[in-house]
Amino acid sequence: MKNRLKHTLLAAALAGSFSAYAAFQPGMGMAQVENEIQQRMQQGQDLATIISAAAAAGITPSTLTSALITQGFPPGQVVTSMIAAGMPANPVVAAAISSGAPADAVIQAAITAGAPAQSVMQAAVSTGAITPQAAMQVAIASGVDPTTITPPTAAGPAGPTGPTGPTGQPGAPFSFTPPPAGGGGGGTASPS
């Protein structure tokens, strides 16, 4: 009887220490985060609960997004849930697309979740998976007023009035002074 009690207590202690060891912790690598997600899924935890625990432990949005998608959660649901949980849209969008999710579906999910359309489009275009024009079309199809957005660029936003001029200020004029057109070298031409 005493032996059985000892074994039960030992098993409980080991189980408790294992779950403490397996909990989300700051600085975890992708494989560790994926393992923890997998364990939590087996315990029946839902996506929102997993996101909340990972966020509380300081797991980065990009690592968590990628890990959730690779563990089989639908990308659109991951993006929507991450943004709803207060995660910043840009790393979530970029990580989802980099994990193989279709850019148009990710843009739509992020905008539907309430993320700012301009930054969502910029994050998507910066991955190289979608053109600025296509990103705008998806945003407009998702209900964004076309007068409130501008085409994103792979290099980032251009500034309030367009590309920067030679001074680095948005809208600064480009100037060019042609070289003086002199009168030649004073030489002679001979037909030979």
Give the pTM: 0.69
pLDDT in tens, 75-95: 999 999 999 999 999 999 999
Minimal CA–CA distance to 142: which of 101, 100, 106?
Answer: 106
| Sequence ranges of the domains in the chain | 2-148
For residue 17, the tally of other CB atoms under 10 A from its CB is 10
pLDDT averaged over every residue in the chain: 81
pLDDT at 169: 44
Higher-pLDDT residue of 4 and 26 is 26
pLDDT at 153: 78
Higher-pLDDT residue of 132 and 186 is 132
Instruction: Quote the CA–CA distance of 32 and 34 in Å, as a whole number.
Output: 5
Three-state DSSP state, 170: strand
Structure tokens at 144: 């964004």
- HSE, side-chain direction, 13 A CA sphere, residue 189: 3
Mean pLDDT of 26-31: 94
